[in-house]
Amino acid sequence: MSSNPLAPSWLAVPDDANALPEVVWSRNATRSGAGELEIAGVGATALAQRFGTPLYVVDEADVKSRAAGIRESFDREFARVGSSAKVYYAGKAFLSIEVARWVTDAGLNIDVASGGELAVALAAGVDPSRLGLHGNNKSLAEIDRAVGVGVGAIVIDSEIEVSRVAEAATRHARVQPVRLRINSGVHASTHEYLATAREDQKFGIPLADAPAIVALIRTQPSLQFLGLHSHIGSQIFESDGFAEAARRLFALHAELLADGPVPELNLGGGFGIAYTSVDEPLEIDEVAVRFADIVASGAAELGIPVPVVAIEPGRTIVGPSTTTLYTVGTIKDVLVTLPGALETPAIRKYVSIDGGMSDNVRPSLYGADYSVRLANRSSDAEPVLVRIAGKHCESGDIVVRADYLPGDVRPGDLVGVPATGAYGWAMASNYNYLGRPPVVAVIDGEARVIVRGETEEDLLARDMGLAPQAREPRR
């Protein structure tokens, strides 16, 4: 079958529109003998009947094995170069009490980016010394709580935070370990990276200003300087950007060693995952090998000891684990012409589902691509180009811009969108008063809710219109 001219150039007509490419789907996703999508032995139809749709389905063993895998790879490779590595799970990707326990049981630390994320990690019983706190504008209350409970590291993002963290530490009679976030001028995204003197963005401190701020940190008896931090972007498929950032940070790291200890170097997160079958992310083993080589050779060139390296991956741990299940509601064949490019109309099939940008804002926020498969059944019908549209009042409310589904897709079918575990639920909203969907963990043929869905009662709970005081005359 020839491809639809409306399809993007990277998207080929699949040989089998029911196949679940391993690179995109969670490790325990398969098709049953009858053709239905099953995740960890639980069928899509049973999940939808029991929990409703939209539904985030997390393959629990997948998260656990990726978390353990990244820790083992980094432990092994940094031991090879005579050092060690600390892996922080970036909780912003998706944090719940269960997830916090899964990743810490796998030996990871957790990086939190707000008081709310800190509260979830603490509620999960995570030892605060295994937490790091980030943010370009932490409130005084967030700093105070983090210092008070004894978080293992706070990443200082601007000069003004030095005194804020130092004062909180003095109040709590603690010595607070801190890192300093550097704006290295390196920004990476997928295959490209951009290196400038200073990237035009809100995070971090320019390299040139860092020595003075580190000196200031070192004058504070209530602070302990751990080292520099850099995070160069997200969904990165190559290691060149990390190498360039590490090279820039290393020069500064070596300079800082002249005046005191710099035990660690934090190179952030951002490792890419596959959202479609054409994406080719680096294997985590390979990332660990390259990181260890980059750091070891950088240290050798400067004649300094190999520091302990910290990393903060989020997406690569939880992203591939989750499939969002939706129910198809309406279907429209839209005839499209593109003046100057496509004079003969072609059909784009709009398949509308019962969720959308409120449960996955990434496509509308930054044009992210996803893929889709029929979930309740498989089908031999010819594949047709589809666009999976949400139900919100926005024409940009698209979940999957382009993929092929069997042409007999019909209302009532379930579809599964894989690789929605990172920045899906975490960025969900109540737009159009849709309740945020539940998150269900599946493992060994069992399913259980780990975050319940929002009800109409939840949606009305904070609206004061029905409260007694609302009946008093307005002032």
CB of 233 to ligand PLP, least distance (A): 8
How far apart CA 252 and CA 229 sit, in angstroms, is 11
Q: Rounded to a whole number, what is the distance in angstroms from the first to the last CA of the chain?
A: 68
Residue 195: CB partners within 8 Å, gap ≥ 6? 185, 186, 187, 241, 244
Give least dist CB 243 to ligand PLP, A. Answer: 17
CB-nearer residue toward ligand PLP: 135 or 435: 135
Q: How far apart are CA 236 and CA 219, in angstroms?
A: 37
Q: How far apart are CA 101 and CA 59, in angstroms?
A: 15
Query: Within 303-451, where are the H helices?
Result: 315-318, 362-366
Q: From residue 285, how far is each of 73, 89, 202, 321, 335 by CA, in Å? A: 5, 17, 32, 18, 46
Residue among 51 and 423 whose Cβ is closer to ligand PLP: 423
Cβ-contact 374, 397 below 8 angstroms: no
Residues found near ligand PLP in the complex (CB under 6 A): 90, 92-93, 134, 231, 234, 268-271, 312-316, 422
Residue closer to ligand PLP (CB basis): 158 or 222: 158
Label residue 149 exposed, middle or buried (CB < 10 Å: 0-12, 13-18, 19+): middle
Q: Decide the pairing of beta strands 37-39 and 153-156.
A: unpaired
Identity of the residue, 232 or 447, whose beta carbon is nearer to ligand PLP in the bound complex: 232
Residues 23 and 277: beta-carbon distance below 8 Å: yes
The distance of closest approach from Cβ of residue 96 to ligand PLP in the complex, given in angstroms and rounded to an integer, is 16
Distance of CA 331 to the CA centre of its chain: 31
With respect to ligand PLP, which residue has the nearer C-beta, 179 or 392?
179
Q: Closest approach of Cβ 463 to ligand PLP, in Å?
A: 32
Q: Decide if 227 contacts 295 (C-beta within 8 A).
A: no
Q: How far is CA 255 from CA 62, 184, 206, 258, in A?
A: 42, 15, 15, 6
- In the complex with ligand PLP, the residue whose CB is nearer, 38 or 59, is 59
For 209, residues 6+ apart whose C-beta sits below 8 A from its C-beta are 159
Crossing angle of helices 240-257 and 284-302, rounded to 10°: 40
Which of the residues 258, 393, 464, 466 is marked catalytic? 393
CB of 276 to ligand PLP, least distance (A): 17
234/321 with CB nearer ligand PLP = 234
Is residue 15 annotated as part of the catalytic site, yes or no? no
Q: In the complex, what is the shortest distance from the CB of residue 97 to ligand PLP, in angstroms, rounded to a whole number?
A: 19
With CA atoms as reference, report the closest residue to 272 among 237, 322, 243: 237
Minimum Å gap between C-beta 80 and ligand PLP is: 23
* Residues with catalytic roles: 393
